[in-house]
């Protein structure tokens, strides 16, 4: 149906027809149905390696059968530890086919975080590969609890397993950042995953001919939208590693692989748009879907300026607990609202309710906390009845419906379109990742010399959010910011690392409670670092320092200052790489940049590319 100019959503009356044509079935069974129809089609591709649906199914079956030989039948937690790659997808499907549920770990996480998730989930086996086997061995000293997929014999029976799986059986337990300071698990059933895949596919009419991008590790929550609406519909899934390849090469990859459906965060989309020379460069794209953070009018303007008319922009809101919540498909004639971030109309099987602090519905047009009413919600939080009771409530409507309280604020237009108006609490999105400030504060307080701590999200001049940490030292203690940063790096994933750390005599309080809005915003002064300040000495170093200072919004930057100690991240790195490529004859990969990590080393690479000496 069409609502306002440029604003569309598929006719919800047609969803029941679509639903009947796609009867509920467990994930493994639905995938096998696609294998039966599209066995010779490319299912997944990364670089030069591609597997057809039949190839991927056989690989998953061999892994699943090996899991059954180790563990026998029955639902239980299996940890999944991979970097990005095709093997991770085969392992995920193998776990599912064996009637188990997976718990994603991430090699990029600190060891302590992976260990917490592994122990909390009570995982009985880690499925990994040779690249991550040492990390897996650190999580469990029992070799019988390790399965290296590279060791799975090719002679293993590759036929379908036929293990009985119920729609109510768990498919995965995904751990997200927790307000208590520890990650919290969200159990997801086959029914929830299938329903989410169905409504995502219906919203943008996924076809077997589509070529979908996957920019995140397979086990990440954000990855599941693309992973399953491709593999459960016979479409192709094309993998690209932002971590190793960087955003500056993404446009070329999208063009080369003729991607038709791109799903990413607004932060990545902004840099992708900046890298496109003219409108319509990516002519194969028909859908760009943004999620993970609210979209801004700047994002919409970038879409209008750089993407050809047939390409539609999908606004979206979702959560791990409620899955897909709202969406709208818009074109360049859409009128972006003056206030709030547009997230669209409720998906089929979901209803949005706005509630006040007493959990009563607000009047039409008023602001309230966004609640999602549906029978397709997570059951609650893993082994945490208190957290479950705080966020899930009985809808008192029968039919198994409940309400999940998102913690987001919103306003609904008379036609049902939802506008997102920010967070009720202090959960924030950093580069599309959900971050609870309490988890950062817990890591700060674990440092022996810290008495009190806080964390806050601020906006760069570019509009990107960044994290700042505040620490109050214990009486008589001397806090070294550089040492505190090293301690945090051992406990927090990179996307949770504060870009700025400030030492305060005390935290601002109101009526005895932390007043976050009164925390000082970090200035642009160079932070305390292990490395003493060394000024630029050559013309090349001076030009590089200028690029770094403008990108990181920190002054002065020394030529030996470590990029990460300055608060840099992978997104900022790609901006620096792009500017360096324009000013110098140097094409640098993200991996090479992260290995150089300071201006002096980068200047040496530039001199080497010119055939000269670093001092020139």
φ/ψ of residue 238, rounded to 5: -115, 125
Structure tokens at 46: 């990364």
User: Which pLDDT belongs to residue 8?
Assistant: 72
Residue 515's SS3 state is: coil
Closest CA to 265 of 427, 434, 442: 434
User: Which pLDDT belongs to residue 2?
Assistant: 45
Crossing angle of helices 53-71/27-38, nearest 10°?
150
Enumerate residues 6+ apart whose C-beta is below 8 A from 243: 83, 84, 108, 570, 590
Pairing of strands 323-330, 312-319: antiparallel
**How far is Cα 193 from Cα 323, in angstroms, rounded to an integer?**
8
- Which sign does the torsion angle of CA 72, 75, 77, 83 carry? positive
**How far is Cα 28 from Cα 163, in angstroms, rounded to an integer?**
10
Within a 10 A sphere around the Cβ of 151, how many other Cβ atoms?
Answer: 11
Question: Do residues 282 and 257 lie in contact, with contact meaning Cβ atoms separated by under 8 Å?
Answer: no
User: Which pLDDT belongs to residue 100?
Assistant: 98
**How far is Cα 593 from Cα 568, in angstroms, rounded to an integer?**
12
The DSSP secondary-structure symbol of 371 reads E
User: Which pLDDT belongs to residue 110?
Assistant: 86
Question: Do residues 95 and 101 lie in contact, with contact meaning Cβ atoms separated by under 8 Å?
Answer: yes
Structure tokens at 16: 């029941």
User: Which pLDDT belongs to residue 136?
Assistant: 96
Q: Could you give the C-alpha distances from 449 to 446, 473, 480, in angstroms and in order? A: 9, 6, 9
Say if domain 7-419 classifies as CATH 3.40.50.12780.
Answer: yes
**How far is Cα 427 from Cα 179, in angstroms, rounded to an integer?**
8
Full DSSP string of 445-495: HTSTTEEEEEEEEEE-TTS-EEEEEEEEEPTT----HHHHHHHHHTTS-GG
For the domain covering 427-518, report its CATH number: 3.30.300.30
Enumerate residues 6+ apart whose C-beta is below 8 A from 427: 177, 179, 407, 434, 435, 436, 437
Which segments of the chain belong to CATH 1.10.1200.10?
539-610
Beta bridge partners of 92: none
Structure tokens at 386: 């208190």
φ/ψ of residue 182, rounded to 5: -120, 150
Side-chain half-sphere CA neighbours of 104 within 13 A: 27
φ/ψ of residue 339, rounded to 5: -130, 135
User: Which pLDDT belongs to residue 12?
Assistant: 66
Within a 10 A sphere around the Cβ of 159, how many other Cβ atoms?
Answer: 11
Closest CA to 248 of 580, 601, 595: 580
- Summarised one tens digit per residue, pLDDT across range 92-138 is 999 999 999 999 999 988 889 999 999 999 999 999 999 999 999 99
User: Which pLDDT belongs to residue 582?
Assistant: 85
For the domain covering 539-610, report its CATH number: 1.10.1200.10
User: Which pLDDT belongs to residue 1?
Assistant: 43
- Summarised one tens digit per residue, pLDDT across range 48-87 is 999 999 999 999 999 999 999 999 999 999 999 998 899 9
Side-chain half-sphere CA neighbours of 569 within 13 A: 19
User: Which pLDDT belongs to residue 10?
Assistant: 62
Average pLDDT value for the chain: 89
Which segments of the chain belong to CATH 3.30.300.30?
427-518
User: Which pLDDT belongs to residue 531?
Assistant: 81
Which segments of the chain belong to CATH 3.40.50.12780?
7-419
pLDDT averaged over consecutive 10-residue blocks of the chain (616 residues)?
63 83 95 98 97 98 97 96 94 97 92 93 96 95 93 93 96 81 90 95 95 88 89 97 85 96 88 83 93 84 88 93 94 89 92 93 92 95 94 77 93 93 79 81 90 88 83 88 89 88 85 75 82 92 94 91 83 86 82 85 86 55
User: Which pLDDT belongs to residue 178?
Assistant: 62
* Exposure string for 538-573, b = 16+ CB within 10 A, e = fewer: bebbebbbbbbbebbbbeebbbbbebbbbbbbbbbb
């Amino acid at each position: 149906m069409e609502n306002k100019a440029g604003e569309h959503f598929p006719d919800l009356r047609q969803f029941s027809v679509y639903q009947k044509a796609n009867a509920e079935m467990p994930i493994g069974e639905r995938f096998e149905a696609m294998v039966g129809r599209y066995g010779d089609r490319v299912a997944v591709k990364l670089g030069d390696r591609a597997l057809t649906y039949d190839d991927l199914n056989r690989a998953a079956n061999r892994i699943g059968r090996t899991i059954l030989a180790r563990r026998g039948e029955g639902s239980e937690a299996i940890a999944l530890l991979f970097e990005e790659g095709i093997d991770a997808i085969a392992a995920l499907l193998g776990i599912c086919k064996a009637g188990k549920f997976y718990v994603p770990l991430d090699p990029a996480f600190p060891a302590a975080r992976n260990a917490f998730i592994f122990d909390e989930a009570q995982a009985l086996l880690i499925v990994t590969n040779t690249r991550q086997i040492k990390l897996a061995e650190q999580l469990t000293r029992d070799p019988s609890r390790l399965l290296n997929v590279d060791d799975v014999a090719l002679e293993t029976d590759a036929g379908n397993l036929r293990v009985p799986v119920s729609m109510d059986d768990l498919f995965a337990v995904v751990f997200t950042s927790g307000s208590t300071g520890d990650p919290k698990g969200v159990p997801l059933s086959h029914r929830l995953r299938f329903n989410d895949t169905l409504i995502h596919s219906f919203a943008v009419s996924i076809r077997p001919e589509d070529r979908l991008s996957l920019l995140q590790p397979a086990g990440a929550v954000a990855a599941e939208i693309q992973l399953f609406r491709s593999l459960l519909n016979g479409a192709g899934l094309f993998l690209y590693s932002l971590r190793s390849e960087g955003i500056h090469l993404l446009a070329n990859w999208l063009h080369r692989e003729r991607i038709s459906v791109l799903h990413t965060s607004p932060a990545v989309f902004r840099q992708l748009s900046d890298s496109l020379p003219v409108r319509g460069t990516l002519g194969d794209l028909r859908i760009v879907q943004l999620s993970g953070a609210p979209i801004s009018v700047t994002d919409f303007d970038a879409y209008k300026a750089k993407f050809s008319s047939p390409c539609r922009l999908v606004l979206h809101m979702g959560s791990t607990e409620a899955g897909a919540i709202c969406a709208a498909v818009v074109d360049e004639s859409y009128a972006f609202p003056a206030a709030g971030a547009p997230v669209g109309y409720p998906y089929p099987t979901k209803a949005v309710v706005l509630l006040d602090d007493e959990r009563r519905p607000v009047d039409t047009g008023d602001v309230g906390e966004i609640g999602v009413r549906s029978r397709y919600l997570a059951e609650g939080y893993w082994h945490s009845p208190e957290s479950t009771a705080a966020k899930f409530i009985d809808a008192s409507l029968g039919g198994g419906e409940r309400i999940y309280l998102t913690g987001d604020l919103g306003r609904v237009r008379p036609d049902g379109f939802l506008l997102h108006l920010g967070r009720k609490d202090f959960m924030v999105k950093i580069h599309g990742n959900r971050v609870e400030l309490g988890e950062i504060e817990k890591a700060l307080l674990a440092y022996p010399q810290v008495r009190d701590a806080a964390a806050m999200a601020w906006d760069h001049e570019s509009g990107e959010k960044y994290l700042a940490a505040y620490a109050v030292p214990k009486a008589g203690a001397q806090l070294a910011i550089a040492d505190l940063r090293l301690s945090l790096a051992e406990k927090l994933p990179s996307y949770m690392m504060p870009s700025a750390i400030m030492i305060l005599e005390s935290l601002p309080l109101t009526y005895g409670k932390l007043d976050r809005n009164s925390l000082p915003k970090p200035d642009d002064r160079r932070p305390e670092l292990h490395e003493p300040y060394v000024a630029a000495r050559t013309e090349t170093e001076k030009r590089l320092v200028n690029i770094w200072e403008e990108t990181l919004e920190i002054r002065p930057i020394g030529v030996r200052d470590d990029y990460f100690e300055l608060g840099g991240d992978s997104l900022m790195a790609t901006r620096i790489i792009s500017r360096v490529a324009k000013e110098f004859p140097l094409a640098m990969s993200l991996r090479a940049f992260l290995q150089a990590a300071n201006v002096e080393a980068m200047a040496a690479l530039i001199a080497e590319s010119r055939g000269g000496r670093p001092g020139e």
